[in-house]
């Protein structure tokens, strides 16, 4: 059936013919409802209109399978990104940047930078299997390393 034969609004007709190049309902059946939302000018309301009009004529869109990632996997991914960011900030601190400089670079507060460095160090200790008793010793090494790098940067 030709698209012009359907009782569609001007917007729906233009989206199909002009933007998608579809002239028949057979061509339209190849698309899923989700894919239609990617078409310029074709939003939820126009899509609903299309589905309704097509249903009256016995035409159905292709069933699109959408797989949503689980909440747990999204949280795990965000956690990995945060840890990577924390480690990057700790490395910058080791390179001699002050907490104030890092705070300005990352648009955070000085105290938050301190918290992030501590978290990164704890995570590192956990990954390496080093006891938390050595945390203070390692932190002092990092501070010494940072001060030395800062001093070298100034000269």
Question: Residue 110 sits in which domain range?
Answer: 71-154
Read off the CATH number of the domain in which 47 is found.
Answer: 1.10.150
Number of domains in the chain: 2
The pLDDT tens digits for 97-115 are 888 899 998 888 988 988 8
Q: What share of the chain in percent tops pLDDT 70? A: 95
Measured distance between the N- and C-terminal CA atoms of the chain, rounded to whole angstroms = 79
Whether 94 and 121 share a structural domain: yes
Whether 150 and 78 share a structural domain: yes
Kindly report the average pLDDT of the chain as a whole number: 83
Q: Is residue 65 part of a domain?
A: no
Residue 66 has pLDDT above 80, yes or no: no
DSSP single-letter state for residue 103: H
**Cα–Cα distance between 80 and 95 in angstroms, integer?**
23
Whether 75 and 112 share a structural domain: yes
DSSP-assigned beta bridge partners for residue 32: 62
Residue 77 has pLDDT above 60, yes or no: yes
pLDDT value for 64 = 63
Length in residues, the chain: 155
Q: Is residue 61 part of a domain?
A: no
Whether 75 and 52 share a structural domain: no
Q: Which residue has the higher pLDDT, 69 or 76?
A: 76
Which single residue is written with the structure tokens 């797989």?
Answer: 67
Return the closest-CA partner of residue 17 out of 40, 35, 38. 40
Which single residue is written with the structure tokens 């729906």?
Answer: 12
pLDDT value for 69 = 62
Q: Is residue 64 part of a domain?
A: no
**Cα–Cα distance between 32 and 62 in angstroms, integer?**
5
Whether 89 and 30 share a structural domain: no
Q: Which two tokens stand for residue 95?
A: 């390179």
Whether 88 and 119 share a structural domain: yes
* 3-class DSSP state of 24: strand
């Amino acid at each position: 059936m030709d698209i012009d034969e359907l009782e569609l609004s001007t917007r729906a007709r233009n989206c199909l013919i002009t933007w998608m190049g579809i002239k028949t309902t057979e061509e339209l059946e190849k698309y899923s409802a989700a894919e239609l939302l990617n078409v310029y000018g074709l939003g939820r309301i126009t899509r609903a209109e299309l589905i309704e009009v097509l249903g009256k004529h016995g035409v159905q869109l292709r069933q699109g399978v959408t797989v949503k990632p689980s909440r747990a996997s999204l949280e795990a991914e965000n956690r990995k990104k945060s840890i990577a960011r924390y480690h990057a900030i700790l490395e910058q601190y080791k390179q001699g940047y002050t907490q104030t400089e890092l705070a300005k670079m990352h648009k955070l507060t000085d105290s938050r930078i301190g918290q992030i460095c501590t978290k990164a160090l704890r995570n590192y200790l956990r990954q390496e299997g080093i006891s938390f008793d050595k945390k203070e010793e390692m932190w002092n090494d990092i501070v010494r390393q940072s001060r030395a790098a800062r001093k070298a940067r100034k000269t």
